[in-house]
Amino acid sequence: MIVSAPAHTGKKGETGMKRWGKISVLFALCAALWLAGSAFVAPFRYRGGTVDGLELKGLTPAAAERVLRERYVRELQGKKLFVEAAGDEYEFTYPEIGYSSDLAEVLKAARDKKGDYTVSRRFFLLREEETLGGICENYARRAVSARVRFTGDYDKPFEYTEGSGAHFIDFEQLQKDVRRSLETNFSAVVAKTVYAPEACRRADLEKERAKLSSFTTCFSADKTARVHNIALAAEKINGCILADGEEFSFNGRVGARTESNGFLSAPIILEGDFVEGVGGGVCQASTTVYNAALLAGMEITEQHPHSLRVGYVEPSFDAMVSGKTCDLKFRNTSGKDIYIVCKTTGNSISVGFYGLDNGVKYVRKSVVKEEILPPEQEVVAGDEDKVLRAEKKGLVSEGYLIAYRDGKPVSTRKIRRDKYAAVRGKVQKSEKIVA
């Protein structure tokens, strides 16, 4: 006998039909979840195709990747990179050599479409900069620059110490060669040794210290006080280094012409006449410096002529200095340091300028434009006839500076126009008794 289920069970009002409907839905949900779980447990497997000759059929992407990476490592373990540097050989193997590839992208593409695929690989040296830099450092020999010392000696103003060049391995070229070897057939690499001259060679130093000019004036050796003053001024100027753009001041360099500063009393020109004064003769030193500066291409910023002509230089090329009112100044515009040397001998003073030679040479030219006759000489009585002061013509003159390059004149420049007063003669006449 079949017994029927009760018409009402469970919650109040719930029929058996509704109850079994809910159970069916529950079973359906469980089935769906089981199917989803089955898909997770059973991952994708390739249905065909190859990657680098590996048959993909039946393999999962993870398995294919593992097999291929193991193959690549085995292949890499059989490769060696040799680097030769300065006779020594360096060997690099896996894992010092690594690689990168597009394997992941290729395996992904093989899922969508069957085919034969090839993986692109790029080999590289791990810690490349550190490793290759260490090799380069082992064989680097630093350059030693040439050196120079300014002695201040007129005849040998500079002493040079030779430098030496550098030997080093071209890091960038070595890096390129190693990368090229790893990208092709792992051929041996020979590091290129490069020789580099010293940063500062003696020739460079000498070029910046070429003799630009020299000028000499002469004096009488028997005028000892005057000779002393000239020599003292030359001593104070000697060894001067004038930086680019710097202005030279004769008064600033030599100092006051006083006895406390070492100067003696000697003839000077004062108000158109020759008288005794402390520092007499210093103007010959300033004149010699002035002419050497002109010939060296210096920019003259201050100069003064004497009131009377002087015998040690042509008209319009003298340079009078006096106390704080009259100075000789010039500026270095050469772009490099200027070195000044001076010396005196028994009867001469010489000044030399050294610096960067720009290829221009200068020549001075004095032109007398007018002569000025002296007034009638002065006659005074005395015991005997003699000339107390020789008369001297005055004149108007112009100074020119001619520039030459490669032996050819390129410019002529008038640099000054001066007027020198005439000197009135003075004679002594003895009184004669007329019979």
Say if strands 378-382 and 426-430 run parallel, antiparallel, or are unpaired: parallel
DSSP type of residue 423: B
Element holding 348 (H helix, E strand): strand 348-355
How far is it, in rounded angstroms, from Cα 219 to Cα 173?
Answer: 67
Task: Give me the pLDDT at residue 81, please.
Answer: 96
How far is it, in rounded angstroms, from Cα 96 to Cα 270?
Answer: 90
- One-letter amino acid for residue 96 of the chain: E
Low-confidence ranges of the chain (pLDDT < 70): 1-41, 269-275, 432-435
A 10 A CB-CB count for 122 gives 12
Element holding 76 (H helix, E strand): helix 61-77
Edge-to-edge strand list for the sheet holding 210-218: 210-218, 348-355, 338-344, 240-242
Task: Give me the pLDDT at residue 30, please.
Answer: 47
Helices 128-138/171-183 angle, 10° precision: 130
A 10 A CB-CB count for 184 gives 9
> What's the count of helices (H) and strands (E) in the chain, helices before strands?
9, 27
Task: Give me the pLDDT at residue 315, please.
Answer: 97
Helix, strand or coil, per DSSP, at residue 86 = coil
- pTM across the whole model: 0.64
Closest CA to 178 of 131, 119, 120: 131
- Contact, 424 vs 390, CB < 8 A? no
Helix, strand or coil, per DSSP, at residue 323 = coil
A 10 A CB-CB count for 428 gives 15
DSSP type of residue 259: G
> 399 vs 294, 364, 396, CA distance in Å?
11, 7, 10
Closest CA to 230 of 123, 340, 343: 343
- Contact, 327 vs 339, CB < 8 A? no
DSSP type of residue 140: -
Say if residue 375 is preceded by a cis peptide, omega within 30 of 0: no
Task: Give me the pLDDT at residue 208, please.
Answer: 95
> 134 vs 40, 139, 140, 174, CA distance in Å?
52, 9, 10, 12
Task: Give me the pLDDT at residue 4, please.
Answer: 30
Task: Give me the pLDDT at residue 265, please.
Answer: 87
